[in-house]
Amino acid sequence: MEIIEKLVATPGEVYKPSSPFLAEVIETRRLTPAGSADDIRHIVLSIKGSKIQYMEGQSVGIVAPGLREDGKPQKVRLYSIASARCGELGCDLGGHPESVTLCVKRVIYTDPETGKEVRGLASNHLCDAKLGQKLQLTGPTGRKFLLPADDSVPLIMIAAGTGIAPFRAFIKHIYHEKGGWNGSVKLFYGAKTGLETLYMNDESNDIGQYYTEETFAAFKALSRASNQPKTYVQDKIAAQKDQLWPLISTGRFCLYICGLKGIEEGVSKVMSAWAKEEGKDWEQLKEEFEKSGRWNVEVY
Ligand SMILES: Cc1cc2nc3c(=O)[nH]c(=O)nc-3n(C[C@H](O)[C@H](O)[C@H](O)COP(=O)(O)OP(=O)(O)OC[C@H]3O[C@@H](n4cnc5c(N)ncnc54)[C@H](O)[C@@H]3O)c2cc1C
């Protein structure tokens, strides 16, 4: 199976944890309306003055302040870049993006052993950051979760929660910066309710504005909406077998999965059943898809 060539970034500066870039917060707002229990924010950081070049699908790192128990700096946490290569503000005269956008969920959970509330270090640092505050940024990183160089390759994007971030970047680049995609572009998105459908709700409709594009189709699955049956991304994928299996069985696709751990399993189960109907070995097929750059997964 031939390799799917991916787009690569023009070489720029890559910041290491030992010497991070100080990026200023220039926008921070909630993407989930007040009625949602999830605090998920759209955070734009200025990278003006850096020589960073990034591509859609890459991530940056954030180093929270303070030291670990062993006296070492905090470990880097990765966040997918939600802006396309020109950033939210465009590029400077040298062609470097002036900003990088993140879509961050505030992690808060109850420790099952102590019963105490635990706040994730970097996500709370990011979500609490005020305008003008400087954050320690590393990267950009990522060499696989990138768009194909050939725009006739059909794209299948599958996300849950903040996993939408790299797809916002893909879709913005394709329809806003590039002016279209020759292959089809399908987005499957899972959220709890309409309140958590990021970039496709009343708070922000960045992705919704491309619904009218001829090559674009979006399928939303809501797992906890009170007014309709529970659906998950794999249910929406199963319902699109006629559209998807001809692409997958012939290797004419590039598929991406991003977000919650576990979504790959659900997707794989559906496709494994399709393969079985034709007497094909799904595990072997998937391995070939991974090796050739067709099956790209970034879950956390
Ligand atoms: C490639 C990549 C891209 C990513 N992109 C994004 C992104 O776009 N947006 C985003 O919000 N995050 C993203 N993440 C996740 C992010 O890197 C952090 O892991 C996340 O924000 C938590 O970091 P923290 O410092 O807040 O929490 P930490 O202080 O690191 O605490 C998290 C720890 O708490 C545990 N934990 C979390 N929830 C619970 C729970 N309910 N019950 C019990 N234990 C729990 C986890 O197992 C983990 O050990 C990405 C991760 C990767 C690897």
Rounded to whole angstroms, the Cα distance separating 199 from 250 reads 32
What would the pLDDT profile of 116-125 be if each residue is shown by its tens digit?
Answer: 999 999 999 9
0.95 exceeded by the pTM?
A: yes
Spell out the domains of the chain, with CATH numbers in brackets: 21-140 (2.40.30.10), 155-299 (3.40.50.80)
Q: For residue 259, what pLDDT is reported?
A: 97
* From 31, 80, 107, 164, mutation site for ligand 1 pocket: most ligand atoms within 8 A of C-beta: 107
Residue nearest to atom 13 of ligand 1 (CA): 79
Q: For residue 202, what pLDDT is reported?
A: 86
Rounded to whole angstroms, the Cα distance separating 218 from 207 reads 9
Question: Which of 70, 87, 86, 84 has its CA nearest to residue 27?
Answer: 87
What would the pLDDT profile of 227-276 be if each residue is shown by its tens digit?
Answer: 889 999 999 999 999 999 999 999 999 999 999 999 999 999 999 999 99
Amino acid at position 97, single letter: P
Q: For residue 114, what pLDDT is reported?
A: 96
The pLDDT confidence band at residue 177, using thresholds 50, 70 and 90, is very high
| pLDDT over 90 at 9, yes or no | no
Residue nearest to atom 40 of ligand 1 (CA): 109
Angle at 60 between CA 171 and CA 27, to 5 degrees: 70
Q: What is the mean pLDDT of the chain?
A: 96
100-109, 197-206, 213-222, 278-287: least confident range: 197-206
CB 282 within 8 A of CB 275: yes
List all residues whose CB is within 6 A of at least one atom of ligand 1.
59, 77-80, 103-105, 107, 109, 120-124, 162, 165, 298, 300
> What is the full DSSP assignment across 34-90?
TT-S--EEEEEEE-TTS-----TT-EEEEE-SSB-TTSPBPPPEEEEB-S-TTTTT-
The pLDDT confidence band at residue 10, using thresholds 50, 70 and 90, is confident
Annotated binding site: 80, 105, 162, 223-224, 230, 259-260, 298
CB 43 within 8 A of CB 129: yes
The pLDDT confidence band at residue 95, using thresholds 50, 70 and 90, is confident
Question: Measured from the CA of 123, which atom of ligand 1 is nearest?
Answer: 26
Annotated binding site for NADP(+): 80, 105, 162, 223-224, 230, 259-260, 298
| 61 alpha carbon – ligand 1 mean position (Å) | 12
